[in-house]
Amino acid sequence: MIEAWLLPVPGSVPDLVERVRPGLADWEQARLERFAFEPDRVLYAAAHGLLRLALTFRHPSVPVAQWEVERTAAGALVVIGPVTPTPQVSLSHTKGLVACAVAAVPVGIDVEAVDPRLDVASLFERVLSPSERAAWPAPGDAARRRFFQTWVLKEALLKGLGLGLQCEPATISVAFSETTPPAIVEMPAAIARPADWGVAFVDPPPGHVGAVAHRGPPGSAAVAPRLIGLETLLASFG
Ligand SMILES: CC(C)(COP(=O)(O)OP(=O)(O)OC[C@H]1O[C@@H](n2cnc3c(N)ncnc32)[C@H](O)[C@@H]1OP(=O)(O)O)[C@@H](O)C(=O)NCCC(=O)NCCS
């Protein structure tokens, strides 16, 4: 079972950072200090608070502030205690929303706000594989949404792999339609095999798209969406 947590975050939330900060690790608190812009600080505090709440939901005996979390050199989050085996996690933040996935297997999550002003065509070469570009639909709202859906599937996979942008998104191909669930159909052989990674869309609030990727054969893990509100997050931090 993969838990996919979604937490809507309006731009300004009084007290959120101060309420969550004491429950974070020293390195996360130091990171909070370095943000130049308050909305980025709020999203970071919300996401890293959500991570702990999601872990405690899975292991209710561990209070939110007792999770031991580190960051790899590539930027991925790793839970190192206090339970064993340690859960696998992934985080994402975008305008208005943060997300967190928790699983027993390597997992990645990505959410994006569907920006109506982004010049998506300028990103085709970087994000879409040659086969995806060859079959790309004509410009319009549906094509824009499809671009963001393609983006989150690839980002979720790259996060699950722990790679981030060390792998070019255009070397990966995904497939999905109104009637067929998403799948990875092509990726560099040196990285992994499509048969070893499953992907699924999560259903975030309007104006956003989201996806989860997990190690294991496609369809082998159920994704449980969990939408929560800020009050629940804040209450868990006392
Ligand atoms: C950093 C990256 C992994 C995701 O960035 P992003 O989508 O802009 O931002 P998100 O909020 O969704 O994800 C950031 C989180 O991913 C996690 N992360 C960062 N590097 C990671 C890695 N190598 N592996 C797994 N997770 C990683 C971190 O938890 C990070 O949040 P934190 O710094 O608060 O801990 C990377 O893929 C990136 O820079 N992407 C830029 C966006 C882009 O151009 N995408 C191309 C479309 S496919």
101-146 pLDDT per residue, tens: 999 999 999 999 999 999 999 999 999 999 999 999 999 999 999 9
Q: Residue 152 — pLDDT band, cuts 50, 70, 90? A: very high
CA distance 59 to 186: 36
Q: Is 79 in the pocket of ligand 1 (CB under 6 A)?
A: no
Q: Is the pTM of this model over 0.75?
A: yes
pLDDT at 65: 96
**Among the four given CATH numbers 3.90.550.10, 3.40.50.9100, 2.60.120.470, 3.90.470.20, the one describing domain 2-236:** 3.90.470.20
Question: Predicted confidence band at 13 (pLDDT cuts at 50, 70, 90)?
Answer: confident
Residue 238: the pLDDT is 81
Does the beta carbon of 129 sit less than 6 angstroms from any atom of ligand 1?
no
Q: Which pLDDT belongs to residue 183? A: 97
pLDDT tens digits for range 24-66: 999 999 999 999 999 999 999 999 999 999 999 999 999 999 9
Nearest atom in ligand 1 to the alpha carbon of residue 94 is: 11
Give the pLDDT mean for 71-91. 96
Contact 147, 127 (CB under 8 A): yes
Residue whose Cα lies nearest atom 6 of ligand 1: it is: 92
What does the pLDDT average to over 201-229?
95
Q: Is 208 in the pocket of ligand 1 (CB under 6 A)?
A: no
Q: What is the DSSP string of 114-150?
A: --TTS-GGGGHHHHS-HHHHHTPPPSSHHHHHHHHHH
Over the stretch 171-212, which tens digit does the pLDDT of each residue have? 999 999 999 999 999 999 999 999 999 999 998 899 999 999
CB atoms within 10 A of CB 48: 24
- Alpha helix (H) ranges present in the chain? 16-20, 26-34, 38-58, 124-127, 130-134, 141-160, 230-236
Is residue 154 over pLDDT 80? yes
Residue spans per domain, the chain: 2-236
Q: Does the beta carbon of 93 lie inside 6 Å of ligand 1? A: yes
Name the residue at shortest CA distance from atom 39 of ligand 1: 165
Does residue 165 carry a pLDDT above 90? no
Ligand 1 binding pocket includes 164 (Cβ within 6 Å): yes
Kindly tell me if the per-residue pLDDT of 14 is higher than 90: no
User: Residue 162: pLDDT above 90?
Assistant: yes
pLDDT at 223: 95
Mutate which of 69, 77, 111, 157 for ligand 1? The one with the most ligand atoms within 8 Å of its CB, which is 77
Residue 197 Cβ < 6 Å to ligand 1: no
Find out whether the beta carbon of 163 lies less than 6 Å from any atom of ligand 1: yes
- Ligand 1 site, residue 158, Cβ cutoff 6 A: yes
Atom of ligand 1 nearest to the CA of 163: 23
